């Protein structure tokens, strides 16, 4: 599969999750508690960032067909037949990967990870782990404290580390 197509599929998975959260949760904002709206909005924002990252990478690689590319200091993009992996290696590693077979986007750091797919989100930090459906208001309500804590951890990695780094290195614009 061409490299650009794999990145476009990853972008589409992130867009699909954002669209589902918007349609099934954020569109009902008038009837929901502010805390639930806040969680749904945070999930929407993070998936939008992931979509922008994959879109920026699509524009950056052009027609390159190499399996591993350096796109900046300590920043690499690797491809296999059905996976794409963005690796930031220093000062500590952060990995964003997309697996075509599973339709999952994974964000992984030294202390935890998050898996985003259209029907579920899995969050883990150290030994705290939670899986939930981001479009199910009752599930978000029941697991609110854990979701909030773990989303804050992953959100900082994506929003305050990766996005500024990619804005500087590859000219990503959000």
Whole-number Å distance between alpha carbons of 164 and 162: 6
pLDDT band, very low/low/confident/very high, at 63 (cuts 50, 70, 90):
low
- Per the confidence metrics, is the pTM higher than 0.85? yes
Over residues 81-94, mean pLDDT: 92
64 has a pLDDT exceeding 90:
no
Q: Residue 1: its pLDDT value, please? A: 60
Name which residue leads in pLDDT, 73 or 106. 106
Q: How far apart are CA 155 and CA 137, in angstroms?
A: 20
Q: What is the pLDDT of residues 2-57, one digit of tens each?
A: 788 999 999 999 999 999 999 999 999 999 999 999 999 999 999 999 999 999 99
- The pLDDT, as a whole number, for residue 172 is 81
Cα torsion at 107, 3, 80, 75 (round to 10°)? -50
């Amino acid at each position: 599969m061409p490299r650009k197509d794999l990145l476009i599929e990853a972008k589409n998975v992130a867009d699909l999750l954002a669209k589902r959260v918007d349609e099934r949760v954020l569109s009902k904002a008038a009837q929901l508690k502010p805390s639930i709206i806040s969680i749904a909005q945070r999930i929407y924002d993070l998936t939008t960032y992931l979509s922008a990252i994959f879109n920026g990478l699509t524009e950056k690689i052009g027609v390159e067909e190499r399996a591993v590319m350096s796109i900046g200091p300590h920043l690499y993009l690797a491809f296999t037949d059905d996976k794409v992996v963005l690796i930031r290696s220093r000062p500590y590693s952060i990995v964003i990967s997309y697996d075509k077979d599973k339709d999952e986007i994974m964000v992984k750091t030294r202390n935890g990870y998050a898996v985003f797919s259209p029907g579920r989100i899995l969050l883990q930090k150290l030994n705290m782990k939670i899986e939930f459906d981001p479009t199910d208001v009752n599930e978000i309500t029941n697991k609110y404290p854990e979701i909030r804590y773990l989303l804050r951890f992953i959100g900082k990695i994506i929003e305050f580390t990766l996005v500024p780094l990619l804005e500087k290195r590859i000219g990503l614009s959000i």
